[in-house]
Structure 1
Amino acid sequence: MGIPGSKRVLITFGRSFLTLELARLLSAAGHRVTIVDSIPIGVTRFSHATASFHRVPAPKFEPRAYCHALAKIVADEHIDMVIPIHEETDILSMMGGVFPPECELFLSDFDTENRLHNKFEFQQLLAAKQFQTMKFAQVRGPRDVAELDFAGPFALKECYSRGSQQVHKVMPGDSLDWLDHDPLNPWLAQEWISGKQYCTYSIVRDGRIHAHATYPVDYAIGGSSCLNFRSVRHDGIFDWISEFVRDMNFTGQVGFDFIEHPHRGLFCIECNPRATSGIMMFAPEDGVDRAFFGFNDDVITPDPNVDKMIGLGMLLYGWRRDSRGDHNLRQFLRDFRHSHDVITSPGDNRPAWMLPIAYLGILRSCLKYRVGLAEGFMHDHEWDGLRISE
């Protein structure tokens, strides 16, 4: 059961399966859904859930033009809420003043969004709030490299980066002469520990969780970007997130990556203050639209038996050794047969039919920006710390 009355909602990043699933959920609840993207052929454009589609400038390269284009669509179509999906969230948080006041941007203020997005600042924030953290340090240049004193292996990743991009595992004493030092985007060195990994997705309003999903990392691109989604209950993770978002008075979509060490306990690796793949575990009967508008008292969770996958991603990456973790190929084939592909939906098959054409557009972006497939999918919607003003 959804909220009383139909709303007009604009969702960004129309090429994403997350956007497609959210559009279907909101449309099924009776809301009118507008989709935008910087490429003309995104899968959500072809969904019956989409009432209108607009091509807009690329937020990474034309952030002001992007925000002003969205603001015009909001005014023209009398949009009630804008729900950003990817890192355009940070850009919109800096440009909120260009939008009509009667439209809600479902996100937090820029300072909050940035502190959660920046991987080093997020770890600093956890330490300041006395959450348990792994050992970490910022690397801005050769002097910081020389001062690293990790006793065991550690991860190196840019402070502004995302799951499908490479995380380097480094041993003490390894040469780091290959590091490029960008003053706007330094590196985070973070202790490397072993354990069970989990990802989460939460819809939060004014510091209160209205919907939540936790899923283990089973199959993931390079071990970090999930390809399948099984709902599990983990009270420790839920309690951790509840305390954190309440303390931050956070509003928006948010995901956290956790690792649970068998002896040292639960650690939060990083935060994604935006949509994550967990949205794809919800079903229309869950009424997840209520969470966005704050119309539910109990926390909405997915069916505990849900088991979904990104079929094309599993075919391209899931079978690889660095993506299937502890699973062998026989287990991969069994899981692939029994999981439901998120792209397919009864009565809404056009996104699946158009998927090959949509991916040709992604490949065009890969060639244009000279990046791989996973990076090309999101490259023009990334944000790496460059401040803008209205």
Structure 2
Amino acid sequence: MCTNVLLTGGRAPATLELARMFGKQGHEVHVADSFSYSISRYSKYVTFHEIRSPRQDESQYIEDLNNIIDENGISLLVPTCEEIFYIAKHKDVFPSSCVVFTEEIEVLETLHRKDRFIQLVKQLGYAAPETHSVSDVRGWESFFQKRKKEEWVAKPVYSRFSNGTCFSADFPEAVERLKRGVPYVIQALVKGKQYCTYSISVDGELLAHTQYEALHRGKGGASVAFKHEERRELERWVRSFVRKMRFTGSIAFDFILTEEGGWLPIECNPRVTSGIHLFRGCFLPGLFSQEKERVFPCKEGFMISALCLWNEGKRILTLNQKMPPYPKGYKDIFFDQEDPGPFLYQGISLYGWRREAKRLGVSITEASTYDIQWDGEGQ
């Protein structure tokens, strides 16, 4: 049975992947975003709706979504990026005829905020890195006076793309943020390999799961190449966690595989992430509606070709042997013979982000979430 589906966060390549999945299976796909150059709008499977920003006009954003739902007979709403928090906060105002695929805001907030996530992990009986919270400059200075000789990583409790992250007590930006009331977490620096997971769970049942090593990264720290790797112990951890939480929705974790062979979670993203590319060609849309059969990731690797080529150029020019080589044999996440628009127009989307970053006076990575990010608004 075909569904009229509404996806939000059309700017994200992960949303484009999901839109193509729905579209190829005969569903009518609508995508809403406040960024007019969203990559998904160039897909032949998508009817695009430009709407208000949830961060800048929360009530109008929810009203815009409700209008799209009413006018187009939407029966499934799937938030994909950080606008999920605003949608979850107002989950009760959407019509009962439309399934909103997200957990409650209280659950999402606990998972998203880095200090509360670590507290939850420990409460559920899992190991986690030593983690402390500081809310002002006095707390920051007091902590590092006592523990300065140890190795730590500090980051804002709400952050993305490693923004504001530091590995030293002498970090002026952290002090300035603390002065503005931005709380930080200080976490023991764990040596090892970083892995990312992406899963879909319904009522605590793990229906889709993948993990990949975060080997190839962009400037902001986010992965730009992805290939599923069998790690049964990691999958068991995630399955146990979502079962204890009775979690419904998309959920992703960052882990460190320690030098001793243990797994330590460091943060959580309770939303769609790049791991969804590893389910290309799978019957994934069914997990959001009626079908509840387990779906497994494909064996192919995927990448953002332009960024991987950029990294390869830097590796060659700087003779940096520590940088991973270009991921050969991986497919570009934008390219699809049946849907060439996003691949052909990705330069236009990048132009839009450059223009937006210049207007806001921030980096492109910061601009990409500026109008949808959630930093605990109203909580």
Distance in 1 separating the partners of 2:314 and 2:4:
42
CA contact (8 A) 1:18 1:277 kept: yes
CA contact (8 A) 2:301 2:331 kept: yes
Cα offset for 1:293? 2.1
CA contact (8 A) 2:137 2:175 kept: no
Distance in 2 separating the partners of 1:170 and 1:215:
28
Residue 348 of structure 1: aligned partner = 339
Find out whether 1:104 has 2:102 as its counterpart: no
CA contact (8 A) 1:157 1:188 kept: yes
Residue 127 of structure 1: aligned partner = 122
After superposition, residues 79-98 of structure 1 pair within 5 angstroms as 79-98=74-93
Task: Give the TM-score normalised by the residue count of structure 1.
Answer: 0.90
CA contact (8 A) 1:259 1:269 kept: yes
Give SS of 1:198's match: strand
After superposition, residues 35-184 of structure 1 pair within 5 angstroms as 35-50=31-46, 52-148=47-143, 149-150=146-147, 152-170=150-168, 174=170, 178-181=175-178
Cα offset for 1:100? 0.6
Q: Structure 2 counterpart of 1:152, which letter?
A: E
Residue 277 of structure 1: aligned partner = 274
Give SS of 1:170's match: coil
Decide which of 380, 383, 386 is 2:371's aligned counterpart: 380
Find out whether 1:370 has 2:361 as its counterpart: yes
CA contact (8 A) 2:14 2:276 kept: yes
Report the RMSD for the aligned CA atoms in angstroms.
2.1
Distance in 2 separating the partners of 1:338 and 1:239:
29
After superposition, residues 185-334 of structure 1 pair within 5 angstroms as 185-222=182-219, 224-263=221-260, 265-284=262-281, 286-293=282-289, 295-297=291-293, 299-304=294-299, 306-317=300-311, 320=314, 332-333=325-326
CA contact (8 A) 1:185 1:384 kept: no
Distance in 2 separating the partners of 1:209 and 1:387:
31
Give SS of 1:75's match: helix
Give SS of 2:362's match: coil
Q: Structure 1 counterpart of 2:246, which letter?
A: N
Deviations 1:176-229 (A, max 9, x none): 673422676410111111112110111111111111111111111257310000
Deviations 1:281-326 (A, max 9, x none): 1122x211122225133x312123x1110122324456556xx9x9
Q: Structure 2 counterpart of 1:258, which letter?
A: F
Task: Give the TM-score normalised by the residue count of structure 2.
Answer: 0.92
Deviations 1:84-140 (A, max 9, x none): 111111111111122111111111001100000000110111111121010110010
Distance in 1 separating the partners of 2:236 and 2:219:
29
Cα offset for 1:169? 0.9
Q: Structure 2 counterpart of 1:219, which letter?
A: H
Give SS of 2:297's match: coil
Cα offset for 1:328? 5.0
* Identity across matched positions, percent: 29
Deviations 1:239-272 (A, max 9, x none): 1111111111111111000001122611001000
Q: 1:320 to 1:207 in 2, by over 3 A?
A: farther
Cα offset for 1:164? 4.6
Q: 1:91 to 1:18 in 2, by over 3 A?
A: same
Decide which of 20, 25, 29 is 1:24's aligned counterpart: 20
Paired residue total: 372
CA contact (8 A) 2:220 2:365 kept: no
Distance in 2 separating the partners of 1:178 and 1:308:
39
Residue 358 of structure 1: aligned partner = 349
Give SS of 1:269's match: strand
Distance in 1 separating the partners of 2:240 and 2:274:
22
Cα offset for 1:11? 0.6
CA contact (8 A) 1:184 1:386 kept: no
Give SS of 2:102's match: coil
CA contact (8 A) 1:9 1:83 kept: yes
Q: Structure 2 counterpart of 1:266, which letter?
A: W
Ranges in structure 2 where 5+ consecutive residues have no aligned partner? none
Q: Which runs of 4+ in 1 moved over 6 A?
A: none
Q: 1:182 to 1:175 in 2, by over 3 A?
A: closer
Q: Structure 1 counterpart of 2:35, which letter?
A: I
